[in-house]
C-alpha cells in the first residue's frame, strides 16, 4: 500500500499539532487536510524571577502539551463502520502498542472519543506487540475473548489497519496468551497466518456475484453531517480484468450503497476521457466536465470529491499523488478559490477534525 506511514519510534518530545478542516494548500505536492502547527504559551505568569519549583511546574505543564503523537485509531462509528480517527496521544517510544491500548473500551481513549464513536476491544484487554521484520505479532490477554460476535470482523479490521499505519508493519499476527490464533474465539472467523490491509475493510459485496473473478479495491465515501463530515474506507469487488485505477473511479462514481448512510460528491455522469497515466508515483486523470458536479458553472472541483479520490487512489501500491485535468486542461480551482496547480498527496493523517 502507498498509504502514509509513521515511524515506529518517536522522539520523546513531539510538538503537538491541531489539524485544520479539509482543504488544499498551495505549493509543490499539495496535501489534503493539512496540519497547522500550534504554539503553546503559558498564561497567568507573574512578573519577576520564579522559584525552581515554579519553573519545574511550568516545564511539566508545557511538556505535557508538547508530548503528543498524532495517531490514527480505527474506531466504530454510529453506523457500524470501522473508521480512522486521528487523535493526539501521549508521546511514547512504543507507539504501536499504545495505539492498540487506545482501542480498548473504557480505557484511556474514553475521554477522547468523538461523538458517535466507540472503541473496539473488550474492556480490560491487555497486549504485547513484537515487531519482527514487516510483521507485528500481537499477544492478547484472556479479556480479548469477551466481545460480541457482531464485532468480530470489525476487531480484525481495526487492529490490522491501526497497526499497519506504522513503518515497517505490513502484516499482523494474533495470539492469545502466547498461543497463535487460527480462528477468532467467539464466531470462529478464520484468521490465517497473517492479516493485511489487502483483506479489506467495511466489506461491500453488493453486486459481486462471482467472487472468484473479482478483486478488492478500497474507496472512501463521506459520513456524518454538514460541517462535520469524515471519510469512511469501503472495500468493493471489481472485475479482475479492470485496471485498479479505473475500477476505483468507477466505484466512486457508482457511489455508496443506498442503505449505507454514506455520501459522495461524484455524479454518475463523471467519466475518464483518457486512460490513467501513471509515472513516478503520480497518476494523472483526465475527466469530463461532469467532475465539477454542482459546481459546473463555476468550474470548481469539490473538496470532498478531491479528498475521496486522493484517499482511494493512494491506497494503491506505487501511487503517492494525484493530478486532475478536465477536458485536457489542468487549471482547476478548489472551493476556497485556490488554484490546483500541483499534484495532490495523501494527508499524513485522516479524519483529524473534532466533531
Q: Transcribe 167-205 into DSSP letters.
A: TT--EEEEEETTEEPSB-TTT--B--S-B-GGG-SS-B-
Distance separating alpha carbons of residues 45 and 349, to the nearest angstrom: 35
Grid coordinates representing 220? Answer: 472512501
C-alpha dist (Å) from residue 354 to 84, 218, 264: 13, 25, 21
- pLDDT of 45 higher than 80: no
Residues 165, 255 within the same domain: no
Let me know if residue 44 belongs to a domain. no
| Of the listed ranges 40-54, 84-98, 208-222, 239-253, the one predicted with least confidence | 40-54
Residues 221, 296 within the same domain: yes
| Of the listed ranges 66-70, 152-156, 182-186, 350-354, the one predicted with least confidence | 350-354
H-assigned helices in 217-302: 244-254
| 227-252 mean pLDDT | 96
Pick the last residue of a domain from 154, 173, 199: 199
C-alpha dist (Å) from residue 99 to 15, 55, 123, 166: 18, 32, 15, 10
CA 253, 218, 281, 349 dihedral sign is: positive
Residues 116, 174 within the same domain: yes
C-alpha dist (Å) from residue 154 to 41, 51, 82, 140, 276: 41, 52, 6, 16, 33
Residues 222, 123 within the same domain: no
Pick the last residue of a domain from 177, 199, 221: 199
| Of the listed ranges 61-70, 135-144, 308-317, 330-339, the one predicted with least confidence | 61-70
Question: What is the domain range of residue 64?
Answer: 17-39+54-199
> What does the pLDDT read at residue 9?
55
pLDDT (tens digit per residue) in 153-199: 999 999 999 999 999 999 999 999 999 999 999 999 999 999 999 99
Distance separating alpha carbons of residues 220 and 237, to the nearest angstrom: 14
Let me know if residue 103 belongs to a domain. yes
Residues 159, 227 within the same domain: no
CB 204 within 8 A of CB 236: yes
Distance separating alpha carbons of residues 187 and 22, to the nearest angstrom: 39
Would you place residue 151 in the very low, low, confident or very high pLDDT band (cuts 50, 70, 90)?
very high
| Of the listed ranges 156-165, 281-290, 291-300, 343-352, the one predicted with least confidence | 291-300
Let me know if residue 308 belongs to a domain. yes
Other C-beta atoms closer than 10 Å to the C-beta of 168 total: 13
Rounded mean pLDDT of the chain?
Answer: 85
Let me know if residue 340 belongs to a domain. yes
Pick the last residue of a domain from 199, 220, 249: 199
Residues 221, 281 within the same domain: yes
Would you place residue 60 in the very low, low, confident or very high pLDDT band (cuts 50, 70, 90)?
very low
> What does the pLDDT read at residue 15?
33
Residues 225, 179 within the same domain: no
| 46-52 mean pLDDT | 45
The total number of structural domains in the chain stands at 2
Let me know if residue 139 belongs to a domain. yes
Let me know if residue 204 belongs to a domain. no
- pLDDT of 48 higher than 80: no
Residues 191, 241 within the same domain: no
CB 344 within 8 A of CB 305: no
CB 121 within 8 A of CB 102: no
Residues 29, 136 within the same domain: yes
CB 231 within 8 A of CB 307: yes
**Of residues 64, 70, 80, the one with CA closest to residue 33:** 70
DSSP H/E element including 98: helix 95-101
Residues 158, 249 within the same domain: no
Residues 191, 224 within the same domain: no
Let me know if residue 12 belongs to a domain. no
Let me know if residue 7 belongs to a domain. no
| 18-37 mean pLDDT | 39
Residues 22, 67 within the same domain: yes
> What does the pLDDT read at residue 227?
82
C-alpha dist (Å) from residue 121 to 74, 76, 88, 104, 156: 11, 11, 19, 4, 10
Amino acid at each position: 500500500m502507498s498509504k502514509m506511514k509513521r515511524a515506529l519510534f518517536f522522539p520523546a518530545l513531539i510538538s503537538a499539532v491541531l489539524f485544520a478542516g479539509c482543504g488544499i494548500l498551495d505549493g509543490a505536492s499539495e496535501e489534503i487536510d493539512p496540519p497547522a502547527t500550534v504554539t503553546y504559551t503559558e498564561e497567568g505568569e507573574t512578573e519577576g524571577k520564579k522559584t525552581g519549583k515554579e519553573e519545574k511546574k511550568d516545564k511539566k505543564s508545557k511538556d505535557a502539551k508538547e508530548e503528543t503523537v498524532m495517531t490514527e485509531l480505527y474506531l466504530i462509528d454510529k453506523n457500524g463502520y470501522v473508521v480512522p480517527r486521528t487523535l493526539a496521544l501521549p508521546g511514547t517510544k512504543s507507539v504501536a502498542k499504545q495505539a492498540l491500548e487506545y482501542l480498548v473500551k473504557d480505557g484511556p481513549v474514553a475521554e477522547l472519543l468523538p461523538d458517535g464513536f466507540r472503541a473496539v476491544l473488550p474492556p480490560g484487554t491487555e497486549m504485547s506487540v513484537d515487531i519482527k521484520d514487516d510483521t507485528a505479532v500481537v499477544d492478547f490477554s484472556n479479556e480479548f475473548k469477551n466481545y460480541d460476535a457482531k464485532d468480530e470482523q470489525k476487531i480484525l479490521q481495526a487492529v490490522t489497519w491501526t497497526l499497519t499505519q506504522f513503518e515497517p508493519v505490513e502484516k499482523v499476527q494474533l495470539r492469545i496468551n502466547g498461543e497463535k490464533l487460527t480462528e477468532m474465539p467467539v464466531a470462529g472467523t478464520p484468521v490465517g497466518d497473517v492479516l493485511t490491509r489487502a483483506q479489506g475493510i467495511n466489506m461491500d459485496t453488493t453486486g459481486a456475484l462471482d467472487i472468484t473473478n473479482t478483486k478488492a479495491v478500497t474507496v472512501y465515501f463521506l459520513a456524518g453531517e454538514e460541517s462535520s463530515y469524515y471519510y469512511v474506507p469501503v472495500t468493493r469487488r471489481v472485475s479482475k480484468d479492470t485496471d485498479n485505477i479505473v475500477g476505483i473511479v468507477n466505484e466512486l462514481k457508482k457511489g455508496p450503497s443506498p442503505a449505507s448512510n454514506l455520501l459522495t460528491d461524484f455524479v454518475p455522469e463523471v467519466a475518464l476521457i483518457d486512460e490513467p497515466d501513471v509515472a513516478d508515483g503520480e497518476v494523472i486523470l483526465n475527466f469530463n466536465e461532469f467532475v465539477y458536479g454542482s459546481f459546473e458553472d463555476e468550474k470548481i472541483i469539490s473538496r470532498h470529491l478531491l479528498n475521496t479520490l486522493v484517499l482511494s487512489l493512494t491506497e494503491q501500491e506505487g501511487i503517492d499523488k494525484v493530478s486532475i485535468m478536465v477536458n485536457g486542461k489542468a487549471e482547476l480551482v478548489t472551493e476556497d478559490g485556490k488554484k490546483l496547480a500541483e499534484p495532490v498527496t495523501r494527508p499524513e493523517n485522516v479524519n483529524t477534525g473534532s466533531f
